[in-house]
Structure 1
Amino acid sequence: MTRPLIISDCDEVLLHMVAPFKDWLEASQGVSFQLEGHNFAEALRWQDSGALLESADIWRMLREFFDNEMDSQLPIAGAVEGINTLAERADVVILTNLVDGHRDARAAQLAAVGINARVFTNQGPKGPALKAIMDEYAPTRAVFIDDLAQHHASVAEITPQVTRLHLCGEPMIAHAIDCAHKAGHAEARIDRWDEALPWLLERLED
């Protein structure tokens, strides 16, 4: 018998990522991270020169962070309790944009904080990957949770029947990201788990 399905992102939904990444960059990589306004392209600068990092350097540092620093990622407030409450009423899977080689490390990272869920890795827009998950699980209803508007747009285009919640639990960047709800690609934008959980539980009962 099929159940409802929650498809959740990890970084900035369940675990902090930008905050520990910033700390690591500034402590060990000679990079400052100062986000002003909405311009992520100008947030990363070399400390000694003030020059912007090249794209290749940013991607290299992201790889190094996920290779070696995932243990520094702590849970978003209320996320562990929230996702586990949802798991009592629905199947829960994680759809995370990481290279496939990090899938097992992500699952272990989540298990270490008390979230035991199947992990799907993805690169690029999440709509096609989410459709494949939907085809496998054939849920009675489904809810997608993610912090980035472009993924909500992708899911809305391919599987519009999926309910979409835009949630960014990292105050450092929440103000600076595009809002999927305002764009019409998510049913709601809620950045706190204590407020999101009641909304999500209601969607499972609809």
Structure 2
Amino acid sequence: MTRPLVITDCDEVLMHMVVPFAQWVDEAHGVLFRMEDASFAGALKRKECGTPLEAAEVWPLLDGFFRTEMARQYPIRGAMAAMTAIGAAADIVVLTNVGPAHQAARGAQLSALGLCAPVIGSRGGKGEPVRRLLDERKPSVAVFIDDLAGHHASVAAAAPEVWRLHMVGEPAIAGKIAPAPHAHARIDDWGAAQDWILARLSQNIPAAGSEQV
């Protein structure tokens, strides 16, 4: 058997994103970001008139942010120390939906902070990429961390043996997002999350057929 595997998202798990993104769209595009519920797209409104942006306008803004403004991002408190501790017990892969075009920049961003781990810039649901990682690496146990409930549902369907931790590390939006129903736990603090992850790795029991903890 190979080492345990931890597959983690980046934005709002390892790095703050919505706060620097909100500052940038305000300064550069005259757009206000005010997240009132779990809808990211619905939080973007034009400053002049308060009209919500169309869905087709959202990705170009995100793409522009990741293309030129990633230097504005900064680590979630405790995330890098937790990755160091977890990396002593497991392999780490960063699975982030920035897309292939921004994969190298994301890897450089994290490497500069001391996290030298493979980065996969995916798009869409994360179930299939997680399934591929499991089939390639055959870990004895695996943990998946993400802030979006949809990805937990995707991973639960494609790889039910993976432990799933729902984490929203950005305090500005954490209280507006309900716990993901397909996650085994919801923890927004890295101190407690590290303990939970290391416990799953130590037990070395796949999630499927195990009691939720």
Report SS of the residue matched to 2:49.
coil
Report SS of the residue matched to 1:165.
strand
The answer for the alignment partner of 1:103 in structure 2 is: 103
Gaps of 5+ in 2: 204-213
Residues 28-177 of structure 1: pairs in structure 2 closer than 5 A: 28-177=28-177
Report SS of the residue matched to 1:172.
helix
The answer for the alignment partner of 2:200 in structure 1 is: 203
Native 8 Å contact 1:148 1:178 kept in 2 = no
Q: What RMSD in Å do the two structures reach over aligned CA positions?
A: 1.2
Native 8 Å contact 2:97 2:123 kept in 1 = yes
Give CA deviations for 1:64-97 in whole Å, capped at 9, x if unaligned.
0010001111000000000111001100010111
Native 8 Å contact 1:8 1:93 kept in 2 = yes
CA deviation after TM superposition for structure 1 residue 38, in Å: 3.8
Gaps of 5+ in 1: none
Residues 40 and 9 of structure 1, relative CA distance in 2, 3 Å threshold: closer
Give CA deviations for 1:40-70 in whole Å, capped at 9, x if unaligned.
4431111112111112221111110010001
Give CA deviations for 1:101-130 in whole Å, capped at 9, x if unaligned.
111111000011111100112111100010
TM-score (norm 2): 0.92
Residues 38 and 152 of structure 1, relative CA distance in 2, 3 Å threshold: closer
CA deviation after TM superposition for structure 1 residue 164, in Å: 0.7
Q: Which amino acid aligns with 1:112?
A: A
CA deviation after TM superposition for structure 1 residue 35, in Å: 1.6
Whole-angstrom CA distance in 1 between matches of 2:193 and 2:124? 26
The answer for the alignment partner of 1:6 in structure 2 is: 6
TM-score (norm 1): 0.95
Report SS of the residue matched to 2:145.
strand
Q: Which amino acid aligns with 1:68?
A: T
CA deviation after TM superposition for structure 1 residue 39, in Å: 4.2
Whole-angstrom CA distance in 1 between matches of 2:16 and 2:24? 13
Q: Which amino acid aligns with 2:191?
A: D
The answer for the alignment partner of 1:17 in structure 2 is: 17
- What count of residue pairs does the alignment treat as equivalent? 203
Whole-angstrom CA distance in 1 between matches of 2:75 and 2:146? 15
Whole-angstrom CA distance in 1 between matches of 2:161 and 2:197? 15
Whole-angstrom CA distance in 2 between matches of 1:101 and 1:41? 21
Q: Which amino acid aligns with 1:203?
A: R
The worse-fitting range, judged by mean Cα deviation, of 120-129 and 49-58 is 49-58
1:189 aligns with 2:189: no
